[in-house]
Structure 1
Amino acid sequence: MTELIEKQEEILEQLWISKNEKNKSSVTYEVLGVQKNAEEISMLEKEGLIEKDDEKVWLTEDGNKKGEKVVRRHRLAERLLVDVIDVSGKEIHDTACKLEHYLKEGIEDKVCTLLGHPKTCPHGNKIPPGPCCNVDVKVGDKYVVPLSSLKFGQKGKIVFISGISDKNLQSLASMGILPGAKIVVKQTFPSYLFGIGNSEFAVDKTVADAVYVRIEKD
């Protein structure tokens, strides 16, 4: 993706947040950090996504729809970084700004489904729902959940492991407890016993909370 397109998307994101969350229908060039004759502004106007005058810029109806998608991708990227990759601090926003530009339709919906259709970003801001959220509400799809929430006999596939020490992570990897492995729950108390292939493993709740599984549908 070119730097110009990234700048355009960042402007749309700023304008959408200003309009829909701060109740400000227009934003000055100064606040946007661009000149009124900047190439990215001209391109957005040409594409029918914004309108402008000598002082301010505002979204068209199409621009508002596009801006909502950009905001959705950014906030999903933040959730992915925090919930799966365990990123924290200032890195969350900065990395999400780069990652969001690559979460196109199809990919963003898969990320959303993977995360269980989160309602808010790590900062508490609402994540605009996408088509996948509406579909899953209708058909009642099951999402990715911690191993600790599975019941006896349930099957699934490990999707990711997050929130445990490197030592524990290495220990799980050495036993073949890795993303992609198919499991079946054989016991939930006093420890979590599950099978992978012909092997069985027992883990405590801390580890079971860190192993995320996509439940196999009946």
Structure 2
Amino acid sequence: MVTNAGQEILEKLWIDTVEGEDEFIELKKLGREGTINRLAKSEHVVISDNRVKLTPKGNREAKKVIRRHRLAERLLHDVLDVGVDDMESAACKFEHIISEDVEESICTLLGHPRECPHGKPIPPIRCCKEGKEIAEKIVTSLSKLRKGQGGKIVYILTKNHKNLQKLLAMGILPGVPVEVIQTYPSYVFQAGQTQIAVDKEIADDIFVRFV
């Protein structure tokens, strides 16, 4: 198992070599020589001429860390309204404690985002592909449903974190069953035991799977 310190080294190597233009990173620039030696022993990196490079195994692990970090940034920014100054340090802590199941739940909640708040790509995994395939077949926005139609919420896709916070506070979450009661002048729908009215802009952001 890779330690937190090891994950941070792998993350740095990914950013500089996979996303950047460097092929290696000088050992002295990374520091933590003991951690790097352990990563080399576990075959996550190779060290040659005092330069460090990811192995395929290290690349896979680094990709997971990068993904968790950037999903955490989106969660902190979009849902919890954490400022940019505090977001980075908090995301660094989150990336080490988010389990695979929680990671997929966060990804689904956020609508399988492609980029972090800084515009950097979030590496996709199986849940993103499955979400896309489902969406192409049977998912539509709430605003396109007619009176009497319904389904279950799959995800909320919005760049307006205030709207997202409002919906979450009302209990509008993935998996919640909904049924449209009215479409004009506002959209009124039943969500569980509650009737909720929203404007079209917000209804456009709620994606539902027919059941």
The answer, yes or no, to whether TM exceeds 0.5 is yes
Q: Name the TM-score class by shorter chain.
A: 0.7 to 0.9
Q: Verify the 8 A CA contact 2:155 2:208 in the aligned structure 1.
A: no
Displacement of 1:140 in angstroms is: 3.7
In the alignment, structure 1 residue 15 sits paired with structure 2 residue 21:
no
CA distance 1:12–1:156, change in 2 (3 Å) = same
Displacement of 1:209 in angstroms is: 6.2
- Spell out, residue by residue over 1:126-182, the C-alpha distance to the aligned partner (whole angstroms, 9 max, x if none): 1111121223334447899986x4523234359889516x9xx6xx96xxx335664
Mapping for residues 103-122 of structure 1, pairs under 5 Å:
103-122=98-117
Mapping for residues 25-64 of structure 1, pairs under 5 Å:
25-32=23-30, 34-36=31-33, 38=34, 40-53=35-48, 55-64=50-59
Mapping for residues 1-218 of structure 1, pairs under 5 Å:
5-32=3-30, 34-36=31-33, 38=34, 40-53=35-48, 55-140=50-135, 149=143, 151-152=145-146, 153-157=149-153, 162-163=161-162, 177-179=170-172, 182-196=177-191, 200-204=195-199, 208=202, 213=206, 215-218=208-211
User: Unaligned 5+ residue runs, structure 1?
Assistant: none
Displacement of 1:59 in angstroms is: 0.8
CA distance in 2, matches of 1:132, 1:47: 28
CA distance 1:20–1:201, change in 2 (3 Å) = closer
User: Unaligned 5+ residue runs, structure 2?
Assistant: none
Displacement of 1:83 in angstroms is: 1.7
The RMSD of aligned alpha carbons is: 3.5
Question: Identity over the aligned pairs, expressed in percent?
Answer: 38
Letter matched to residue 151 of structure 1: L
TM (norm. structure 1) is 0.75
Aligned residues: 203
Displacement of 1:94 in angstroms is: 1.1
CA distance in 1, matches of 2:87, 2:138: 24
CA distance in 2, matches of 1:11, 1:142: 41
TM (norm. structure 2) is 0.77
CA distance in 1, matches of 2:191, 2:134: 29
